[in-house]
Amino acid sequence: MSAAKKKSNATATKAPSAGDAIDDFQQTPINAGLSREDKCKLYRTILGIRRFEERSLQAYNQGKIGGFLHLYIGQEAVAAGVVSLMEENDHIITAYRDHGHALAVGMSMNECMAEMFGKHTGCSKGKGGSMHFFAPEKNYWGGHGIVAGQTPLGAGLAFALKYKGLKGCCICFLGDGAVNQGSFMETLNLVSLWGIPVVFVIENNGYSMGTSLARSSAEENLAHRADGFDIEWDVCEGHDVFEVREYANRAMSRAREEMKPFLLEIRTYRYRGHSVADANHEKYRTKEEIEEYKKNKDPINVLKEQLVADGSLTEESASKINLEVKTEADAAAKFAEQSPVAPRSEIQTDVYWEVDNDTNNSLKGTYFFND
Ligand SMILES: Cc1ncc(C[n+]2csc(CCOP(=O)(O)OP(=O)(O)O)c2C)c(N)n1
Ligand SMILES: [Mg+2]
């Protein structure tokens, strides 16, 4: 990686910077402290996301799920790793490729699957679908379909922490395509100016729909853009959950401790098309490119190998976890299938009807706020 003006040197420990060779991210302090149970939990989360999405794809192909379905398959270690570092006052927000983050924060497969089936038992009562998973009680603020639309919202969540005097950060995920949106530039300026504890995590999977990074971004080192806003940044790989945790921990700790934004670019890959409707995803990239990543950098295989090698997992315990999450995903599809749709009487609730009507709070412009 080329030298940078403002690359982060924010390390609570003496961990090396991006680009320096770290042989084994399992040995860095944030990871060395993980128990066997913690590591197996990470494995279960990553595998659970994969099996959940495979089951959703099946349901989509059976015509049970309508609308869009953006699969996260291949990127699982990013959400699992970052979310595993969240503390009480930390918040998270992302774009439409949101299933992995939702399951990682602890949303149930049932409420997520039912949401995609458009059922009333879904996390957004079946009115949002795949792109709009929400769990405010878990500090998970969605699920947004407007590219980069979540970035000013993420800044707002982090601003609220500062305003309330709480020590925490907001992790705001975005794609490599979203970095070119004007709203993101405006947000970078403001969070730097005001010292807002937001960590922007660019999940750079190399493509925005069918457009490769080289065709969409003049400067392919996306994190470098932070220099223009006097924001610290770093870059890491996203297939090794321990590497993700190491870099995300530095970024999140700094945001919490110093009340400053951070831009972390994580290089990852999606195996499937942009959405399930993108049947041509082997036209804008080669089959070999996909296979190569699967073979060498599949986050599940990489983690399994690491955990078997250090004695945290055996082939048997790995198979058991696999069976459990697969059964859970199947049960979620059954739950979704059997759940009712929203009653007609609720067709206009939860869709901002209230904002358009003369309630006292909307007249005062304080609808979403306490008096
Ligand atoms: C403002 C806006 N412009 C265009 C779109 C259409 N669109 C949906 S996803 C997408 C590509 C985004 O790619 P990236 O940010 O890399 O995220 P990824 O899909 O790879 O996770 C585009 C252009 C949109 N949803 N919103
Ligand atoms: Mg992308």
Ligand nearest to the CA of 97: 1
Question: What residue owns the CA closest to ligand 1's atom 4?
Answer: 147
What distance in Å separates the CA atoms of residue 293 and residue 195, rounded to the nearest whole number? Answer: 38
371: containing domain = 341-371
290: buried, middle or exposed (CB in 10 Å: 19+, 13-18, 0-12)? middle
Torsion of CA 85, 90, 95, 97, to 10 degrees: 30
Q: Please, are residues 130 and 65 in contact by the beta-carbon 8 Å criterion?
A: yes
Same domain, 109 and 233: yes
Q: What is the pLDDT of residues 80-138, one digit of tens each?
A: 999 999 999 999 999 999 999 999 999 999 999 999 999 999 999 999 999 999 999 99
Residue 11 resides in a domain: no
The verdict on the CB of residue 98 being under 6 Å from ligand 1 is: no
Same domain, 297 and 357: no
Same domain, 245 and 369: no
Tell me the pLDDT band of 350, cut-offs 50, 70 and 90.
confident
Q: How many CA atoms lie within 13 A of 167 on its CB side?
A: 6
Q: Please, are residues 51 and 326 in contact by the beta-carbon 8 Å criterion?
A: yes
Residue 208 CA to ligand 1 center (angstroms) comes to 6
Residue 40 CA to ligand 1 center (angstroms) comes to 33
Q: What are phi and psi of 109, to 5 degrees?
A: -60, -35
> What pLDDT does 224 receive?
95
The ligand 1 atom nearest the CA atom of 274:
19
Question: What residue owns the CA closest to ligand 1's atom 21?
Answer: 175
Residue 231 CA to ligand 1 center (angstroms) comes to 24
Indicate whether 22 pLDDT > 80.
no
Same domain, 351 and 319: no
The verdict on the CB of residue 83 being under 6 Å from ligand 1 is: no
The CATH code of the domain that includes 111 is 3.40.50.970
Residue 132 resides in a domain: yes
What distance in Å separates the CA atoms of residue 51 and residue 40, rounded to the nearest whole number? Answer: 16
Ligand nearest to the CA of 181: 1
- Comparison of pLDDT for 274 and 219, the residue scoring more: 274
Mutate to test the pocket of ligand 1, among 209, 215, 266, 275 (most ligand atoms within 8 A of CB): 209
Tokens in use for 196?
């807002």
Q: What's the alpha-carbon Rg for the chain, to the nearest Å?
A: 20
- What is the count of structural domains for the chain? 2
Q: What is the pLDDT of residues 47-68, one digit of tens each?
A: 999 999 999 999 999 999 999 9
The verdict on the CB of residue 302 being under 6 Å from ligand 1 is: no
What distance in Å separates the CA atoms of residue 75 and residue 55, rounded to the nearest whole number? Answer: 17
Residue 25 resides in a domain: no
Residue 177 CA to ligand 1 center (angstroms) comes to 6
Residue 133's contacts (CB-CB under 8 Å, 6 or more residues apart) are 98, 99, 101, 102, 107, 112, 115, 123, 124, 140, 142, 143
Same domain, 54 and 188: yes
Tell me the pLDDT band of 17, cut-offs 50, 70 and 90.
very low
Residue 180 CA to ligand 1 center (angstroms) comes to 10
What distance in Å separates the CA atoms of residue 266 and residue 150, rounded to the nearest whole number? Answer: 18
The ligand 1 atom nearest the CA atom of 208:
13
Ligand nearest to the CA of 177: 1
Q: Please, are residues 144 and 95 in contact by the beta-carbon 8 Å criterion?
A: yes
The verdict on the CB of residue 50 being under 6 Å from ligand 1 is: no
Residue 205 CA to ligand 2 center (angstroms) comes to 5
Q: What is the pLDDT of residues 286-319, one digit of tens each?
A: 999 999 999 999 999 999 999 999 999 999 999 9
What distance in Å separates the CA atoms of residue 159 and residue 321, rounded to the nearest whole number? Answer: 39
Torsion of CA 212, 213, 217, 220, to 10 degrees: -150
What share of the chain has pLDDT > 70, as a percent? 90
Question: What residue owns the CA closest to ligand 1's atom 8?
Answer: 147
Residue 170 resides in a domain: yes
Residue 12 resides in a domain: no
